[in-house]
Amino acid sequence: MKNDSVNPQDICIGIDLGDRHSQFAVLERATGELLEEGKIPTTARAFERRFGSLTPVRIALEVGGHSPWVSELLERAGHQVIVANAYKLSLISRNDKKSDRSDARYLAELAAANPRLLHPIKHRRAQARADRCILTARDRLVGCRTKLINSMRGMVKTTGARLPATSPTCFHNKVREHIPAELIESVGPLLETIAHLNQQIQRYDKLIEQKIEADHPAAKQLMQVDCVGPITSLNFVLTLDDPCRFRDSRVVGSYIGLRPKERSSGKGDPELRISKAGDSMLRSHLVQSAQRMLGPFGKDSDLRRFGLKLACRGGKSAKKRAVVAVARKLAVLLHRLWLTGSTYEPLRNSLRNEGAATASQAKQQPAAL
């Protein structure tokens, strides 16, 4: 550093992580004076050489693809690491003079002023990140299969024919005889690819079940809830990682991005869409569970009754809002079951309300003479 007389405890460092190189800026907390700035390769060896022997200081960096391993490396060196939520930092994302140098300096200045301004996030454990890659890989294969099936349906439509409705797992077997002869040569390899994708997806399904049995018993507990399968339950456990991170279970819905945005002012309080600020894959899984719960085959429960009541308020949009509301309540319920380890009671609130109503009616009846 340029000024060796500065106490390391009075120093803040901002690092803008890049895929190849990372820019850093060193500031003095009290004065905001820039003591040093530079660029280093985004490798473990370069970070250890630059920050490993440094006296512990406060370091701020943005969340991203490299932030998990970088933050762990810096914490092992004894530094106070703050991982900033990039979604919240409009000061950086909307800067009309954006550059790696300015981003690194802004991170250091915000960390020096008040770390809460960075909206710090906590990374999942390394094992949770590794296990969650199984879910991510499966999700990518399912997406590829969906695109191939839709492409085949579109090709067949150009000939005036149609492929029958069937599940993706049976698609390659049931549609073969419905493909026009002139397209067999074109779409034959696609059918073989879809069949191979089905095999790989089934392998991931078995691996997910093995992971739940061996390493994640909490996910098995969450499967008590109707329409919550192994994929959704394991994704929930791995995404949250630690149930004690949240002081209130109701915060979990906001964490996953299922809370409506808010833009209230003196002029009004408009109804806005959900924030979608959390993990998109978990949010999608919870919404799918809510859709099945409100569907014709969903079992009777407090959540189902709540959702159907909302859906009856009118129109197609009411059904969509009901699905999102049920997904949000489902997230709260799953977190509460995980945190307390209690047994799921589908009609707990309904039975309690019915019991209270019965007791109230009994009190109102005149006593027998």
Domain harbouring 35, CATH code: 3.30.420.40
The whole-number average pLDDT for the span 256-266 is 82
Please tell me whether residues 256 and 169 are part of one structural domain. no
Please tell me whether residues 252 and 307 are part of one structural domain. yes
141 pLDDT exceeds 50? yes
Please tell me whether residues 221 and 337 are part of one structural domain. yes
Please tell me whether residues 253 and 326 are part of one structural domain. yes
Amino acid at 267: K
Please tell me whether residues 61 and 169 are part of one structural domain. no
Please tell me whether residues 248 and 339 are part of one structural domain. yes
pLDDT value of position 314: 73
The whole-number average pLDDT for the span 102-114 is 93
φ and ψ at 28, to 5 degrees?
-90, 130
Q: Which of 10-14, 185-189, 273-277 has the lowest mean pLDDT?
A: 273-277
Please tell me whether residues 114 and 154 are part of one structural domain. no
- Contacts by 118-122 with C-beta closer than 8 Å and gap 24+? 118/60, 118/82, 118/84, 118/85, 118/88, 118/89, 119/84, 119/85, 119/88, 119/89, 120/82, 120/83, 120/84, 120/85, 121/63, 121/83, 121/84, 121/85, 122/83, 122/245
Neighbours of 128 (CB within 10 A): 17
364 pLDDT exceeds 70? no
4 pLDDT exceeds 80? no
Q: Pick from 1-5, 145-149, 182-186, 359-363 the range whose average pLDDT is largest.
A: 145-149
Domain that holds residue 53: 8-118
If you search the block for the tokens 């109230």, which residue do you land on?
360
Please tell me whether residues 234 and 178 are part of one structural domain. no
54 pLDDT exceeds 80? yes
At 369, the pLDDT band (50, 70, 90 cuts) reads: very low
pLDDT per residue as tens digits for the range 267-278:
777 778 888 888
Say if 354 falls within a structural domain: no
Say if 357 falls within a structural domain: no
266 pLDDT exceeds 80? no
Residue in 81, 83, 31, 84 with CA at minimum distance from that of residue 57: 81
Domain count, the chain: 3
Say if 49 falls within a structural domain: yes
Say if 292 falls within a structural domain: yes
Give the C-alpha separation, 129 to 102, whole Å.
Answer: 31
3-state secondary structure of 137: helix
Q: Which among 198, 215, 232 is the end of a domain?
A: 215
Please tell me whether residues 132 and 231 are part of one structural domain. no
pLDDT value of position 198: 97
Q: Which among 55, 89, 118 is the end of a domain?
A: 118
Say if 227 falls within a structural domain: yes
Q: What is the mean pLDDT of the chain?
A: 90
Please tell me whether residues 150 and 245 are part of one structural domain. no
Say if 241 falls within a structural domain: yes
Say if 1 falls within a structural domain: no
pLDDT value of position 91: 75
- 128 Cα distance to chain centroid: 13
Give the C-alpha separation, 220 to 132, whole Å.
Answer: 16
If you search the block for the tokens 């049931």, which residue do you land on?
174
pLDDT value of position 260: 86
**Residue 37, H or E segment:** strand 34-41
34 pLDDT exceeds 60? yes
Please tell me whether residues 71 and 183 are part of one structural domain. no
Residue in 338, 128, 342, 303 with CA at minimum distance from that of residue 222: 338
Please tell me whether residues 299 and 334 are part of one structural domain. yes
pLDDT value of position 96: 78
Say if 323 falls within a structural domain: yes
83 pLDDT exceeds 90? yes
Q: Which among 86, 118, 150 is the end of a domain?
A: 118
User: Considering the chain, what percentage of its residues have pLDDT values greater than 70?
Assistant: 93
Give the C-alpha separation, 150 to 147, whole Å.
Answer: 5
